[in-house]
Structure 1
Amino acid sequence: MSTPPVSAPATPAAPSALARRASRWAGLVLAVVLAAGLLGCGWLVYASKIEWLPASWTRDDALHGELTHRIAKQLSNAWLPEQAARLERAGSWLLLHDTGPRVRSGCPGWLFLTEELQVHRDAQANAQAKLQAVIALRQKLAQRDIALLVAVVPDKSRIAAAQLCGLSRPAQLETRATQWVAGLQQAGVRTIDLAPTLAPLGASAWLRTDTHWNETGAQAAAAVIAAQVRAAGLQPTPAQAYQAQPGPLARRPGDLVHLAGLDWLPLRWQPQPEEVAATEFKEVAAAGPAPTAPAEATKGGDDLDDLLGDQQLPNVALIGTSFSRNSNFVGFLQQALGARIGSFAKDGGKFSGSANEYFSNPAFTQTPPKLVVWEIPERDLQTPYEAIRLGR
């Protein structure tokens, strides 16, 4: 059998004059874009706005790309990458209804934080490290006659599961909060799992376009925490009565809309916004006769504690995350306790951020409370652990 002759490859057609002119302009535009990106990143480096290495890192972080990921994330804050990312997010949302890597769309109008649905690397080891840290902290606080009450806030995707509409919540996450709470309780740490309180409320306890609870959820959580404080035998001071009154309806921007990179769009193009009537709290005089000053304080008026105002400082301190700073949680907790509290929660504080800031704060080191209430979101239980430092 003879082998068929191999035909010579056809000579490619020469590009047209229009294609040659267009390619020059395309190359020029690409060069300008690359140069602008390089200059923007160079400016960030020159202005020393890049943290090349975090304060603490491990060999495991380096091997798994955590360090380079941090640098890349900082470089993305240059002007050109930032503007390109905004345009990409807008196009993906308007054309494909895509909310990006950090946010997931559930049922119509409902958004969820992707982090709640992730299974973290070294999840069990991280959770165990945090468990031991809380146990150690409780022991150190007890040596100073300070009580600790931990409240674990369940995931929105757990309580409002009926609004997931096709989103998958991994089965590995179903027991992470209950096991962690049980571990603390077995070690003698007073701990509340807020899931049984919020589960009967379902989606009505959460904001649609936000990671946080709404006032219904915040009030229910405050009530059960206040009940635990009373059960511990602590009398919160200074006593203060509060009157609650609903405010006017107003649009409440959702943090998930911001995380999805869509909050800069015209309102009619954003995910459906929600309106909230935020409760307004007003201090009112408690019923009954005004308390009389101790005799020691009336002799010459030189009671040092009274002059410094220590007697009026709250003996309950609240630390935690943005859950404590949203939907009037502090207001509802103060009303339920019938006393003012010191709020030291921190937006974005995750597990250790607020605790480390508070325990190094003069508010703790110089005027320690009798009780620390620590609010911790479920989604932070298995993330990498940052050590807790207790001030002197």
Structure 2
Amino acid sequence: MSDSSPKASVPSELTLRSSKLAGFVFVAFLGTTFASALWLLISGKVQMLAPDLSRDAVLNGEVTHKIAKQLSAASVPQGVADLERGVSWLAFNDTGTRVRAGCTGWLFLTDELRINRNARANAGTKAGVVRDIRQRLAQRGIELLVVVVPDKSRIASAQLCDLRRPAQLLDRAVNWVEGLNAAGVSAVDLASALQPSGAEAFLRTDTHWSETGAAAAAQAIARQVQAMGINATPHKVFEVTVQKPALRAGDLVRLAGLDWLPLAWQPAAQTVAATRFSEKAAEVQGGADLDDLFGDDNLPDVALIGTSFSRNSGFLGFLQQALGATIGDFSRDGGEFSGGANAYFNNPAFKQTPPKLLIWEIPERDLQTPYSEVIEYRPTAPDVSRAAR
């Protein structure tokens, strides 16, 4: 019987040499990557175990995920990741795991399309935190207004194209806001204010709203403040200047790992004419109290806490213009649900000169995420002189 099995092919000399070279390069890469990661561990720049470590976090892989995320920030892994991201985008129009491409020119944050584990319980926990803080503020004579910024993928849904927003997310902001209102907490979902503008309410390659969206949101909040019977002070008049159109770098391009590419190779940037707000100089009337003009009475009695939405597209300026008064801005980039609140409640400005009204801006995508950063509200004695005004 003849042997009919196929004969193994003999690799060429070029294949043998190139395979050895590839092996050496791969081993060198692994060694360099390991050394950079080891340095991060030795230097203490990576926190192995969180101080509030829980059994649930260990069993669900949150600990290893956090460590891996910190190690990936080493120079070698980061450089290789950037290279991979650039090649994937140029060759396959792939934007990675953190960003999703919708219709032509439109990018969306993956977090907006994700169904969170224990979503309902997480949302309930955060609603309970808000109710508790509202009660604590009320004891000091401070009103609270919660405003929820709807997802870009909800308002600009016409630009999703092949992307799909899970049906489970349809009413999450509506239900959360309605629950707060039923519990006596003033809360508003800004979706109704942004929906008439549709996709124009958001920037194409950025997470945040456009100036059209920011202005509409500011008007809706001002109407709610007026309905609460609050008159923001000190009263100011603002001059508005529209700047020359300029390219607006989108944060989703950075999150996709494409911001290092030449501008022509990145997703098409958007041109924006930014609006600048400036206070008109106040005239001192006869008999005016100079101590009040330059003292404590001239401090804003409305404070704003929140996320980068409050710091983008001139939102603060639009809100101050809508209220006709200056506002104390204590929002924080990357603050999510707890960051801005924690920063403000531990700020001497809150303890020494509490406001009449606190506006708390929260993105919809943060409503159902785990309540990982506990808000530390340390009650102090009420400022009687300020609360009486």
TM-score (ref. length: structure 2)? 0.93
| TM-fit CA distance, 1:285 | 4.0
Provide the residue aligned with 1:348 in structure 2: 334
Output aligned runs, 1:203-242, within 5 Å. 203-242=199-238
Report the CA distance shift for 1:185/1:26 in structure 2 as closer, same or farther (over 3 A): same
| TM-fit CA distance, 1:336 | 0.8
Matched, 1:93 2:80: no
Which residue of 277, 285, 300 maps to 1:290?
A: 285
Q: Distance in 2 between matches of 1:236 and 1:143?
A: 20
SS for the counterpart of 2:332 is: coil
Provide the residue aligned with 1:388 in structure 2: 375
Report the CA distance shift for 1:6/1:118 in structure 2 as closer, same or farther (over 3 A): farther
Provide the residue aligned with 1:142 in structure 2: 138
| TM-fit CA distance, 1:57 | 3.2
Which residue of 164, 173, 176 maps to 1:177?
A: 173
Provide the residue aligned with 2:266 in structure 1: 270
Report the CA distance shift for 1:289/1:53 in structure 2 as closer, same or farther (over 3 A): same
Matched, 1:329 2:315: yes
Which residue of 141, 145, 152 maps to 1:156?
A: 152
| TM-fit CA distance, 1:19 | 3.8
Provide the residue aligned with 1:372 in structure 2: 358
Describe the superposition over 1:290-349 as per-residue Cα deviations: whole angstroms up to 9, x where unpaired.
37445xx7xxxxx7x888x32221110000001000000000111111111100001110
SS for the counterpart of 2:344 is: helix
Matched, 1:243 2:258: no
Q: Distance in 2 between matches of 1:355 and 1:205?
A: 26
Provide the residue aligned with 1:318 in structure 2: 304
Which residue of 253, 259, 272 maps to 1:257?
A: 253
Provide the residue aligned with 2:384 in structure 1: none
| TM-fit CA distance, 1:8 | 9.5
Provide the residue aligned with 2:35 in structure 1: 39
Matched, 1:48 2:44: yes
Report the CA distance shift for 1:223/1:83 in structure 2 as closer, same or farther (over 3 A): same
Q: Percent identity?
A: 58
| TM-fit CA distance, 1:9 | 6.8
SS for the counterpart of 2:187 is: strand
SS for the counterpart of 2:115 is: coil
Q: Distance in 2 between matches of 1:226 and 1:291?
A: 31
Report the CA distance shift for 1:34/1:191 in structure 2 as closer, same or farther (over 3 A): same
Q: Distance in 2 between matches of 1:31 and 1:122?
A: 42
| TM-fit CA distance, 1:204 | 1.1
Q: Distance in 1 between matches of 2:154 and 2:10?
A: 62
Provide the residue aligned with 2:276 in structure 1: 280
Amino acid at match of 1:256: L
Which residue of 70, 74, 99 maps to 2:70?
A: 74
Amino acid at match of 1:343: D
SS for the counterpart of 2:333 is: coil
Provide the residue aligned with 2:382 in structure 1: none
Q: Distance in 2 between matches of 1:34 and 1:283?
A: 57
Provide the residue aligned with 2:109 in structure 1: 113
Q: Distance in 2 between matches of 1:118 and 1:146?
A: 35
Describe the superposition over 1:205-240 as per-residue Cα deviations: whole angstroms up to 9, x where unpaired.
110100110011101111111111122122211111
Output aligned runs, 1:117-136, within 5 Å. 117-136=113-132
Q: Distance in 2 between matches of 1:291 and 1:224?
A: 36
Provide the residue aligned with 1:300 in structure 2: none
SS for the counterpart of 2:122 is: helix
Report the CA distance shift for 1:285/1:227 in structure 2 as closer, same or farther (over 3 A): farther
Q: Distance in 2 between matches of 1:369 and 1:191?
A: 18
SS for the counterpart of 2:245 is: strand
Larger radius of gyration: 1
Report the CA distance shift for 1:216/1:49 in structure 2 as closer, same or farther (over 3 A): same
| TM-fit CA distance, 1:32 | 1.1
SS for the counterpart of 1:248 is: coil
Amino acid at match of 2:114: Q
Q: Distance in 2 between matches of 1:126 and 1:37?
A: 37
Q: Distance in 1 between matches of 2:39 and 2:26?
A: 20
Provide the residue aligned with 1:189 in structure 2: 185
Q: Distance in 2 between matches of 1:212 and 1:55?
A: 33
SS for the counterpart of 1:212 is: coil
Q: Distance in 2 between matches of 1:285 and 1:14?
A: 86
Contact 1:365 1:391 in 2 (8 A): no
Runs of 5+ unmatched residues, structure 1 = 298-302
